[in-house]
Amino acid sequence: MSDLRNRSPSSGKGVAPETEQLKQSGPHYPQSSDSRVLTKLLYLLSTVFALCWVVFFNTRPSYVSDTYALCSKDGAMIYTVDPKRPRVQCIVVRGPMIIDMGSLEEVHRHWETPQILEQILPKGESTKSRLETRFIRSGSIIVPGLSDSHAHMLEYGASRLIPLESAKTASDAAAAVKRFILADEDTQADPEKYVEGWGWDHTQWPVQEFPTAADLDKDPVVRDRKVVLQAKDGHAIWVNSRVLEAISPLPDTVEGGVIVRDAAGNPTGCLLDNAQYLVQKPPPTKKDLEKRFRLVTEDALSSGLTSIHDAGFDPQSLEFFKQLAAEDKLPIRIYGMTYFDETAEYWGDKVKPIIGAANGKFTARSVKIFADGALRSGGSALFEPYTDNPSTRGFMRIEPEVLNAWIPRFLRDGWQVNIHAIGDRANALVIDAFENALQGINVTASRPRLEHAQIIRHEDMARLGKLGIIASIQPTHATSDMLFGEQRLGPERVKLLYAFQSIIDHGARVTFGSDAPVENMKPLYGFFAAVARVAPDGTSPHGPDGWFPEQRLSREEALRGMTIEPAYASFTDDSLGSLTPGKRADYVVLSQNIMTVPTEEILATEVLLTAIDGKPVYGEL
């Protein structure tokens, strides 16, 4: 990179650096009035030129040319995910599109042959321009832009403000909250502002019990604020006494949720699933949303993500993203699912899906429905009781009759239906509802999705494949939950937990997500978890070969799960998901070959460059 990138346009005396150097080092001669005017004019022009030069180098894209060939000197190191040509040496990009691919010799021969070039270039384009060729560094590879099929963008941004994943005890978490309160200017300025954090996980603490309001009330700095802390799985909140007082009196029960109570029946400070909605926090401000969005996009682009499926728009976040799209301020592609509240009025026939706004960067055409809770918090709906808590089988957050009523309506009104289902009972009931709703409907036009699809009986896996229902899975959930899965489900039922290879073998399509901030957003962590089924340190309850190693996916299957399958799941497989001529030029340059390096080295891979529509949005070659 030119050192002009880091050079000030002036020395502080109003003189361009090059000009000042000449002024200081050159000889001084007496000057006439005309020559002095000429000198001043030249000096002014040189200053303007220097400023323009600096601005150019600080704003120009990494590729000056609108058309370029991107190649590997190591041969066919571009993994296209195109079955016709799965690996090539070069792709040719023109504007936002891929227009050609092949070997270095092929693409240059095409470019130098007018008859072929006329077929490649848009009609009327000049066929006489020179093709700029750029090479990635030796040892690196190119893959299509990576997608996260299930994440919570603004929640992830919020989790970056008070990250609680590293807390080893309730006291650790409370200490992190205190540090934030004392350091954050906005919180200091408004004593009534809710303090929100994310990521605590009591299943990883020495005492695996839900934390309490008393744990937060020990420190006066924390006690005096309204504190709401989201659990790692997103299905429980932990609040302090100020919040409990604000929502009192509490109901005895909550349909589809749990108020955790002590032996005397008093609420302890944890609210599960639908009980979370008892806390009515003020909506985040626009400044809050902008801060969260900046944090999530920085991390996403630097991780190689070019597209995120946001698994839960509420009215405020939907309007926020619509405004960004209208102002052309989206640096990443967003595919949105809008929450459906079954207690509210049906809106599928009143709201029009948004498709391909902001030049293809924003779509909101899906509805998100919750069928049950989470495995970690004991809310996923099972056919048989939990092994470690025989008093419960979990619970459905929505009745089957409601699913059977609303799914067909949303499908008829042009919405994709994506349903959160984790337990085997929840998955079976949702598949029942889909089976009824899909009669006489083109499944390719509707593409229904099971979000999570964690515990599924084999007969229901077969129905996924037969009906064309997409399984939207999160591989890193498997390597997190493997530590307690058997304890919760028992030695036989646990074999159906995160049985990814079995789902594929039954003919179903799988698309990968992270469920961030529940898990690490970096897509290579999902890739690693899918192919290795071990923790990042190489361990698993079943040894170094992986937890239920027969469920490991091939690297080709894992790459598809992060590229073409998310594109199919978002109706964009005609323009995204593979490096194919005619598709958009979204691609990622990785520092090493994740398709061949030893498994234990996958997570050492760095993202060197992320490009969307042919333009780098992170990194440089």
Dihedral-angle region of residue 219 (phi above 0 means left; psi in -120 to 50 means alpha; beta otherwise): beta
pLDDT, residue 13, reads 32
514 inside domain: no
Q: Is 142 exposed, middle or buried (0-12, 13-18, 19+ CB in 10 A)?
A: buried
* Shared-domain flag, residues 16 and 38: yes
Q: What is the DSSP secondary-structure string of 552-605? A: PPPHHHHHHHTTHHHHHHTT-TTTSSS--TTSB--EEEESS-TTTS-GGGGGG-
Does residue 606 sit within a domain? yes
Residue 38 domain-assigned (yes or no)? yes
Question: Is residue 30's pLDDT more than 60?
Answer: no
CA distances from residue 86 to 110, 202, 507, 573 in whole angstroms, order as listed: 20, 44, 22, 16
Same domain, 88 and 15: no
Same domain, 162 and 268: yes
Same-domain check for residues 189 and 258: yes
Last residue of a domain, one of 278, 294, 312: 278
Spatial neighbors of 607 by CB under 8 A, at least 6 apart, are 302, 303, 304, 588, 589, 590, 591, 618, 619
Last residue of some domain: 259, 278, 297?
Answer: 278
22 and 89 share one domain = no
Do 131 and 162 fall into the same domain? no
For the chain, the first-to-last Cα distance in angstroms comes to 10
pLDDT one-digit tens code per residue, 67-79: 999 999 999 999 9
51 domain residue, yes or no: yes
Q: What is the CATH number of the domain that holds 610?
A: 2.30.40.10
Tokens 């001043």 — which residue?
A: 40
What mean pLDDT, rounded, does the chain reach?
89
**Residue 248's domain is classified under what CATH number?**
3.10.310.70
pLDDT in tens, 128-186: 567 899 999 999 999 999 999 999 999 999 999 998 988 999 999 999 999 999 999 99
Which among 20, 36, 59 is the end of a domain? 59
Could you give the 3-state DSSP secondary structure of residue 451?
strand
- Per-residue pLDDT at 7: 28
Q: Pick the residue with more confidence: 289 or 377? A: 289
Whether residues 157 and 264 fall in one domain? yes
User: Do 222 and 194 belong to one domain?
Assistant: yes
In a domain, 357, yes or no: no
Residue 381: its pLDDT value, please?
98
pLDDT for 85 equals 98
List the single range of 375-379, 382-386, 464-468, 550-554 with lowest mean pLDDT: 375-379
Does residue 106 sit in the same domain as residue 174? no
Q: How far apart are CA 534 and CA 541, in angstroms?
A: 9
* 523-528 mean pLDDT: 99
Instruction: Give residue 136's pLDDT.
Output: 98
CA-CA distance, 130 to 127, in Å (whole number)? 9
Residues spanned by the domain of 22: 3-59
Domain annotation covers residue 331: no
Q: Quote the CA–CA distance of 90 and 107 in Å, as a whole number.
A: 7
Enumerate residues 6+ apart whose C-beta is below 8 A from 531: 552, 553, 554, 555, 558, 599, 602
Could you give the CA distance from residue 224 to residue 242 in angstroms, rounded to a whole number? 7
Residue 127: predicted pLDDT: 54
Write down the pTM of the prediction.
0.84
54 lies in the same domain as 91: no
pLDDT in tens, 201-248: 998 899 889 999 999 999 999 999 999 999 988 889 999 999 999 999
**In this structure, is residue 182 part of a structural domain?**
yes
Total tally of structural domains belonging to the chain: 3
**538 vs 24, higher pLDDT:** 538
Rg of the chain, C-alpha, whole Å: 28
- Please check whether residue 474 lies inside any domain of the structure: no
Q: Is pLDDT above 80 for 5?
A: no
Do 208 and 244 lie in one domain? The reply is: yes
Asked whether residue 160 falls in the same domain as residue 255, the answer is: yes
The answer to whether residue 14 scores a pLDDT higher than 70 is: no
Residue 200 neighbours by CB distance under 10 Å? 26
Nearest partner of 430 among 406, 412, 413, judged by Cα: 406
By percentage, how much of the chain surpasses pLDDT 90?
A: 81
